[in-house]
Amino acid sequence: MSTESERNIQNLYARIAGFSYIAFTVAGLVNNFLLNTKLSDIGAMQANSLFENEMHFRLGIAAEIIMFLGVIMASVSFYVVLKSVNKQLAQTALCLRLVEIIIGGIAVVISMAILALSSKAYLLEMFDLEQLHTIVVVASSFRVPAYEYSWISMGVAGVITFYLFFKTRYIPKAWSVWGIITYSSLILYPLAKLLIPDLPREAMFVLFPGALFELGVGIWLLTMGINFPNDSDNTPNK
């Protein structure tokens, strides 16, 4: 394959990665800020629903599925873009993103299981609504840890990815540095939460610049693609 053809493929996959970043960032923002996916309190429970808004809960699951499909597309695309720079590191990042997808996928399955439990009429013959609510709350308690600890592998993969971008100058170095900082925070937050039991919820604010980064770099990659430096400036390490 000629150098020009290879670069065209890299540019195509960089744009696919950009689109994927936009898709999963928007899906995540919608899920977290526009949808009410909370379970009802015992006192406010409706006679036939365990959710404050069941349709929002269903849409939240759909948003989570879109998020992880976007992560898969972005991960494979980044591997195609960066494997000629350092194949071993690119493979490591891809494998770590797959770990993230598996753990996050477990969280999605838990959400779907909660929905299934809530819609089984025969369960109300075995349990009263309060008991069923307790079962669902226990199942739900596994969701947040699954998401948060998947961030560790996501963070390490992201640091590797944007370190490789920093080396190649395929994108402006400012984006690469911001990416390394963003994904480093994704490693530190769940570790801090593990080690500090009463970590204030406000600590999550450190993650907000990361969402802006993913949306911004996604738009950049989709619209601008990647810039190839002169061969003398960048010698691939296979």
Q: Is the pLDDT of residue 193 over 90?
A: no
What is the per-residue pLDDT for 211? Answer: 84
Mean pLDDT of 75-95: 97
Q: In this structure, what token pair is assigned to residue 222? A: 């989709």
Q: Is the pLDDT of residue 22 over 70?
A: yes
Token look-up 């980064």 returns: 213
Mean pLDDT of 153-161: 97
What is the per-residue pLDDT for 42? Answer: 64
Q: Is the pLDDT of residue 201 over 90?
A: no
Please, what is the average pLDDT of the chain? 88
Determine the number of helices (DSSP H) and then strands (DSSP E) in the chain.
Answer: 8, 0
Q: Is the pLDDT of residue 232 over 50?
A: no
Token look-up 């963070």 returns: 155
Max distance between CA atoms of the chain, in angstroms, equals 74
Q: Is the pLDDT of residue 237 over 60?
A: no
The full DSSP string for 146-213 is HHHHHHHHHHHHHHHHHHHHHHHTSS-HHHHHHHHHHHHHHHHHHHHHHH-TT--GGGGGGGHHHHHH
The domain segmentation of the chain, as residue ranges, is 3-233
Q: Is the pLDDT of residue 85 over 90?
A: yes
Nearest CA to 175 out of 230, 236, 235, 221 is that of 221
